[in-house]
Amino acid sequence: MDVSITEATKEEYNRDLRDCDDETGEESDNALHNESWRLSIKLENMVEHQTPEEILGASSCDVVRNSLCKIRGVDKHGRPVMYIKGSSLNSKKLMELVDLERYSLYHAWLREVMVRTVVKQFPQLEPPYFTCVLDLSQVVLAQASRSFYDIVKVIVDIDQHHFPGVIGSMFIVNTPSFFPMIWNVVKKLLTPQIENKIRISSDTSVLLNKMTADHLPSDMSGGAAPLDWDELDSIFISKYSEDRVFVVDTTTSDHYCLPPYIRCLLQSPDDENLRRLLEHHIEALRNESERLERYGLLQRHGLRKILKYSCVTLEQPTAAQHSILKCSLQASIKELEDEIADAQEECTSNEKAVQFARNYMEINVREEKDKLEDDIKNLESDIETLQSAILNSFGKDGLKQLYEKKSTFLEKDYFIM
C-alpha cells in the first residue's frame, strides 16, 4: 500500500500532532504513521460514505445511550465543551451491541467528524479544539469491569496517537471515594503529556476556572440550561454532513472574553454607559495581567531562594535529605508550571477581551459619527425644501409684504408685560 503523503498533508497532521511534545524531527514520521493508519482503516471513506450504523453494525442510538456525550457551549477561549456522563457507561451492554474492533472504528470516525466540524464552524481556532468534562456523579464501582478497561484502552490509544490535538483540557469532576483505585489503572495507559491535561476534582467548582458561568450548565453549578441527556446529539448518531454545527450560545459565543454584565449591554447598548464599562474593563484586564506577571516573577525568585538555601545547608546531604529535597523541588516546579500555564491562558483571554473592546468602541464611535452626519444632511435638505415651499407659496413680493406686516405688528404695544 502506498502511504506517501504530500507536504500539505504533512503540515496538516503536524499541526494536530504538535501537542504530543515529540522531539524535533519526529513530526513528519508521526504524520506518515498517522496517514498509514488512516489508510489502513479507510477513515476517509467511512466519513464520506458510511453512516454510524454501517460502521457499528448496530443502532448508533443504542450505542450512544450506553455512553452518553454532549457538546454544549464554549470555554473562556472559545473551544467547544464536550460533556460525558460517566454513570451512563454500560460497557457490558456495549459489548453485547458491538465488538471492540467496530467500536474503535466508530470512535475514530467520531473524532474525525468532530475535527472537521469544529474547523469549519470555528476557523479561527488552533489545536487543541475541545475541552472535555467527565462527570462521575452516580457512578458505581460495578461499572469498572474488564470490558470497561478494554473500551477505555481503545479510546485512549486512538486519542493519544492519532488525535492528540483534539482535547486540550479534561476535567474529571464529582469523583467518588473509590475513584483513586480506578485512576491508578487508567493512568498507566496515558502518556505524560496527556496526563498533564487532566484535572481531577470531587466537585464542579474547578470548571469555573475554564468556563464562564453563563456557558456552564446548571447541573454543573453554572447558569446555563441543564444538559438534556434524553436528547441525543446528531453528530454522534448521524452520517457526517458539512452543514452540521455544534450547539453553542450564538448570542454570546463571539463575546465570551467579556464578563456577563457587559455582554448583556450588547443586546441593547446604552452608548455612554457601555463605553465607560468597556474602558473600565480594559483597565482592569491590564492590571490583572501585570499582577500575574509580578506573581510569576515572585514565584521564580522564591524557588531560587529555596534552591540556594538547600544547597548551602545541605553541603553533604544524606540520601534521605537528597530525596526529600528532590521531591520538594519537583512539587514546587510542577505547581509553578501549572500556575504559569493558567496565567498565560488568562493573559491570552485578557488580550482578546481588550482587542474586542477596542474594536467595538471604534465601530460604535464610527457608527455614531456616520449617523450624525446623515442627520445633518437630512436637516439641511428639509430646510431647503421648506424654503422652496414658502417661496413658491408667497413669491418674493408676498414674502416682503409679510415681513413688513410682522415688523408693524411687533412695534405696537399689543402685549401687557
Residue 11 lies in a domain: no
pLDDT at 314 over 90: no
Report which secondary-structure segment, H or E, holds 20: none
Which residue would you say has higher pLDDT here, 354 or 45? 45
pLDDT at 271 over 70: no
Residues 240, 277, single domain; the answer is no
Contact 204, 173 (CB under 8 A): yes
Contact 302, 296 (CB under 8 A): no
Contact 265, 277 (CB under 8 A): yes
Residues 258, 255: Cα–Cα separation, whole Å: 6
Residue 135 has a CB neighbour count (10 Å cut-off) of: 24
pLDDT at 122 over 50: yes
pLDDT at 20 over 50: no
The arithmetic mean of pLDDT across residues 210-230, rounded, is 84
Final residue belonging to a domain, choices 254, 280, 297: 254
Domain of residue 289, residue span: 257-374
Q: By mean pLDDT, which of 1-10, 205-214, 215-224, 276-285 is the weakest?
A: 1-10
pLDDT band at 373, cuts 50/70/90? confident
Residues 49, 149, single domain; the answer is yes
Q: What is the pLDDT of residue 42?
A: 93
Residues 205, 64: Cα–Cα separation, whole Å: 27
Residue 207 has a CB neighbour count (10 Å cut-off) of: 24
Q: In what order do the strands lie in the sheet with 130-135?
A: 69-74, 80-85, 130-135, 167-173, 198-200
Residue 317 has a CB neighbour count (10 Å cut-off) of: 15
Measured CA to CA in angstroms, residue 126 lies from 14, 21, 117, 170 at distances of: 12, 16, 13, 17
Q: By mean pLDDT, which of 16-30, 37-51, 172-186 is the weakest?
A: 16-30
All 3 cell numbers of residue 199? Answer: 484535572
Per DSSP, the three-state class of 200 is: strand
Residues 136, 90, single domain; the answer is yes
Residue 339 lies in a domain: yes
Which residue would you say has higher pLDDT here, 191 or 214? 191
Residue 13 half-sphere exposure toward CB, CA atoms < 13 A: 20
The arithmetic mean of pLDDT across residues 368-381, rounded, is 81
Residues 150, 136, single domain; the answer is yes
Q: Report the mean per-residue pLDDT for the chain.
A: 77
Final residue belonging to a domain, choices 226, 254, 282: 254
Residue 363 lies in a domain: yes
Q: By mean pLDDT, which of 182-191, 287-296, 335-344 is the weakest?
A: 287-296
Residue 114 lies in a domain: yes
Q: What is the pLDDT of residue 112?
A: 93
Residues 77, 199, single domain; the answer is yes
Residues 204, 349, single domain; the answer is no
> Ranked by mean pLDDT, which of 76-80, 267-271, 383-387 comes out on top?
76-80
Residues 95, 184, single domain; the answer is yes
Q: What is the pLDDT of residue 2?
A: 38
The arithmetic mean of pLDDT across residues 392-399, rounded, is 70
- Angle 213-160-47 from CA coordinates, rounded to 5°: 85
Residue 313 half-sphere exposure toward CB, CA atoms < 13 A: 9
Final residue belonging to a domain, choices 254, 286, 304: 254
ω before 128 within 30° of 0 (cis)? yes
Measured between its terminal Cα atoms, the distance across the chain in Å is: 108
Residues 64, 205, single domain; the answer is yes
Residues 271, 306, single domain; the answer is yes
Residues 70, 172, single domain; the answer is yes
Residue 32 lies in a domain: no
Q: What proportion of the chain, given as a percentage, has pLDDT over 90?
A: 30
Contact 205, 240 (CB under 8 A): no
Residue 91 lies in a domain: yes
Q: By mean pLDDT, which of 68-77, 96-105, 304-313, 376-385 is the weakest?
A: 304-313
Residue 123 lies in a domain: yes
pLDDT band at 358, cuts 50/70/90? low
pLDDT at 36 over 70: yes
pLDDT at 209 over 70: yes
The arithmetic mean of pLDDT across residues 182-208, rounded, is 91
pLDDT at 339 over 60: yes
Contact 190, 156 (CB under 8 A): yes
Residues 75, 59, single domain; the answer is yes
Contact 17, 27 (CB under 8 A): yes
Residue 17 lies in a domain: no
Number of domains in the chain: 2
Measured CA to CA in angstroms, residue 378 lies from 366, 368, 413 at distances of: 18, 15, 40
Instruction: Tell me the CATH number at 236.
Output: 3.40.525.10
Residues 239, 273, single domain; the answer is no
